[in-house]
């Protein structure tokens, strides 16, 4: 039996709700409960379950691993928000704003351990494989976040460097989610690797789409303020391409606005967006997103299970690629 | 063959040196290399090896687990120093002072993952046990640190609460180090548990001794400034006992100095130390340390290996109890 994505989402949301975080001291456990209850797409555990479901119906063995990935993802959001000094996450106060910096540091640390406690529930015969993939991925996510922070002080980030940063910060965890599902149900190694490659491409498309929506999304649909990345000079796919492709006059404008201290936010967004328009970056980004989407599907097509079983994965990949939020 | 502690220390120092942290980005990996190279007693990995050596000669299987514990311990120091805003560690700048807060957060996060990568090298037949003990201990260390921070704003911490905080923050990792050594070499479960209990008592004695040396140590021998805990109002065994045992006049003095903002550091240390003297806290602390030391030895005596093999563990426990630094 192949589950619908919505059925698996329900299973995940139930399982997340059942994670008990009522331990003592409350300043350690309440923030973990808080961030896990903020919701979100639950994309990564969903991919783990869907990947396992390519081969197997029983989700009980794979669920703890899927939850481990989701807990790790939320831990990384918690610490990233602290490092980025972000005030809000999913419309609610971030942990360091609701409590304080030290509570955010320590509850994040504890959360990473809780993630490992769930990962460690993998069946014993695959535990070592599961752990090794999870740990090497987790380290890569840290590498990606460090590159992202290193990029803040640079104006010469190349597209290749940007893509490597996104691969590390975002794509490998999506790829790992898929591969873990395959490993837990003992799928053929070639399939597991193809699912990983599919995930990398999906992750790249996902992040560039995120960058694109920040500028060209509909704020009512997107749920965030448009232009947020522009205001904080985030090195997005659009900004690094703009800096690479700009003529001298455009480049001078971009650098001036990047370095501006006192300015009207709306004006900054408009100027930068105009340059993006002149450089055709909306179309260029959309093309890159589609290319990665298609390259991902190509990997998925080589996985040795029937097309029928792959339908839900294709749909979710398509949905993410053409999403408006 | 039973190794001498100094031989095992040499093995550990070689193994720590061989840990390669030359990956990219350097802002992620250099701080990990830096803190691991600051040295320290290497007490925890030493206990893991000594515990394994009660049963087995070959240290190759247990070494990665011992290193995992040491890396985790150094991770916890790195993040604790950040949370405590400490400037120095072992005479050198702390990571957040040498780099910055974000580098300290993220390299600490990565370090915790690296610790798990070493722990995951445990033999497959004991991996699950090793992981579960390590994770539950790591969470407890976080709980201890949170209690310690929670205590900062309280004047009514009881001795029982203090001991529970120390058990979590310090003793469980020492106990875990010993038990892990036993688990990896497949020692009898009763022995593993007795070694754990021995470690808890050793850890309590170790921390109270630390509190005592901060006040009554010889600064030339101790290597830290005497009275540091008094100046930052740290809830030590001495301070919480002083607050519990003080008469109204002494209590008023203590509270006045705890709340003082502008003061002469030397005067504060002298006043508080005088109250400790009046309350006989040097002797009371020394007695508590000795009691835990002896209770620990009692557990060790029940471990089912020859007295001959236990000599080095008894010596290290004695050395820590009666140390002057």
CATH of the domain at B212: 1.10.600.10
Q: Is the pTM of this model over 0.80?
A: yes
pLDDT per position as a tens digit, A60-73: 999 999 999 999 99
| 3 state SS of A235 | coil
Q: Which domain holds residue B310?
A: 5-321
* A170 close to B (CB below 8 A): no
Q: How does DSSP classify residue B170? A: I
The pLDDT, as a whole number, for residue B226 is 86
Spell out the long-range contacts of B4-10 with Cβ–Cβ below 8 A and sequence spacing 24 or more: B4/B312, B5/B46, B5/B50, B5/B312, B5/B315, B5/B316, B8/B46, B8/B49, B8/B50, B8/B53, B8/B59, B9/B42, B9/B46
pLDDT per position as a tens digit, A151-186: 998 999 999 999 999 999 999 999 999 999 999 999
The pLDDT, as a whole number, for residue A295 is 98
The pLDDT, as a whole number, for residue B220 is 74
Q: What are phi and psi of B8, to 5 degrees?
A: -65, -35
| Residues in B touching A144 (Cβ below 8 Å) | none
pLDDT per position as a tens digit, B85-101: 999 999 999 999 999 99
> Can you read off the two tokens belonging to residue A320?
């993410």
Strand partners, A88: A93
Q: Does A190 or A20 have the greater pLDDT score?
A: A190
* B286 close to A (CB below 8 A): no
| Residues in B touching A127 (Cβ below 8 Å) | 124, 127-128
Instruction: Report the C-alpha gap between B314 and A129 in whole angstroms.
Output: 39
Angle at alpha carbon of residue A161, lines to A159 and A164, rounded to 5°: 110
* A100 close to B (CB below 8 A): no
CA distances (Å), B125 to each of A135, B184, B270, in order?
20, 9, 56
Instruction: Report the C-alpha gap between B250 and B242 in whole angstroms.
Output: 9
Going by C-alpha positions, the residue among A159, A259, A232, A118 that lies closest to residue B139 is A118
Question: Is the CB of residue A258 less than 8 Å from the CB of residue A154?
Answer: no
Going by C-alpha positions, the residue among B257, B73, B235 that lies closest to residue B156 is B235
DSSP string, A277-293: HHTTHHHHHHHHHHHHH
Percent of chain A with pLDDT strictly greater than 70? 99
- Cβ B143–A28 below 8 Å, yes or no? yes
Report which secondary-structure segment, H or E, holds B258: helix B248-259
Question: Is the CB of residue A172 less than 8 Å from the CB of residue A288?
Answer: no
* A86 close to B (CB below 8 A): no
Tracing tokens 């630390």 back to the chain, one arrives at B210
Average pLDDT for runs of 10 along chain B of length 325? 95 96 95 95 97 97 98 98 94 96 98 98 97 98 97 94 98 98 98 98 97 90 80 96 97 96 95 98 98 98 97 97 89
pLDDT per position as a tens digit, A229-286: 999 999 999 999 999 999 999 999 999 999 999 999 999 999 999 999 999 999 999 9
Closest residue in A to B111 (Cα–Cα): A139
Count structural domains, chain B: 1
Residues 209-268 of A with CB under 8 A from B: none
- Cβ B102–A28 below 8 Å, yes or no? no
- By Cβ distance, the residue of A28, A127, A142 closest to B28 is A142
- Cβ A27–B116 below 8 Å, yes or no? no
- Cβ A109–B112 below 8 Å, yes or no? yes
DSSP H helical ranges for chain A: 5-17, 26-36, 43-53, 63-83, 95-98, 101-119, 124-151, 159-166, 172-184, 189-216, 219-222, 228-231, 237-245, 248-259, 265-278, 281-301, 307-321
Question: Is the CB of residue B102 less than 8 Å from the CB of residue A142?
Answer: no
Going by C-alpha positions, the residue among A210, A308, A226, A292 that lies closest to residue A265 is A226
| Residues in A touching B24 (Cβ below 8 Å) | 143
* B86 close to A (CB below 8 A): no
The pLDDT, as a whole number, for residue B26 is 96
């Amino acid at each position: 039996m192949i589950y619908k994505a919505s059925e698996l989402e329900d299973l995940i949301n139930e399982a997340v709700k059942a994670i008990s975080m009522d331990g003592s001291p409350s300043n350690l456990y309440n923030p973990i409960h808080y961030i896990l209850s903020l919701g979100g797409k639950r994309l990564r555990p969903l991919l783990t379950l869907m990947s396992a479901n390519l081969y197997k119906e029983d989700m009980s063995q794979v669920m703890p691993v899927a939850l481990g990935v989701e807990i790790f993802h939320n831990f990384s959001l918690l610490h990233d928000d602290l490092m980025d000094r972000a005030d809000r996450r999913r419309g609610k106060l971030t942990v360091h704003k609701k409590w304080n910096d030290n509570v955010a540091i320590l509850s994040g640390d504890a959360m990473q351990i809780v993630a490992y406690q769930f990962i460690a529930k993998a069946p014993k015969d695959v535990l070592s494989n599961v752990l090794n993939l999870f740990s090497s991925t987790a380290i890569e996510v840290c590498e990606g976040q460090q590159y992202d922070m290193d990029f803040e002080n640079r104006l010469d980030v190349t597209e290749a460097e940007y893509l490597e940063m996104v691969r590390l910060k975002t794509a490998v965890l999506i790829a790992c989610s898929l591969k873990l599902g395959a490993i837990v149900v003992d799928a053929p190694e070639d399939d597991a690797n193809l699912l990983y490659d599919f995930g990398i491409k999906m992750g790249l498309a996902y992040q560039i789409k995120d960058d694109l929506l920040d500028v060209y999304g509909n704020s009512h649909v997107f749920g965030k303020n448009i232009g947020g990345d522009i205001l904080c000079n985030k090195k997005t796919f659009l900004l690094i391409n703009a800096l690479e492709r700009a003529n001298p006059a455009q480049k001078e404008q971009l650098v001036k606005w990047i370095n501006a201290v006192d300015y009207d936010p709306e004006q900054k967004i408009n100027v930068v967006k105009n340059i993006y328009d002149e450089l055709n970056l909306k179309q260029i980004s959309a093309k890159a997103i589609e290319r990665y989407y298609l390259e991902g599907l190509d990997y998925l097509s080589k996985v040795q299970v029937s097309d029928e079983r792959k339908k839900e994965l294709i749909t979710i990949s398509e949905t993410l690629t053409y999403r408006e939020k």
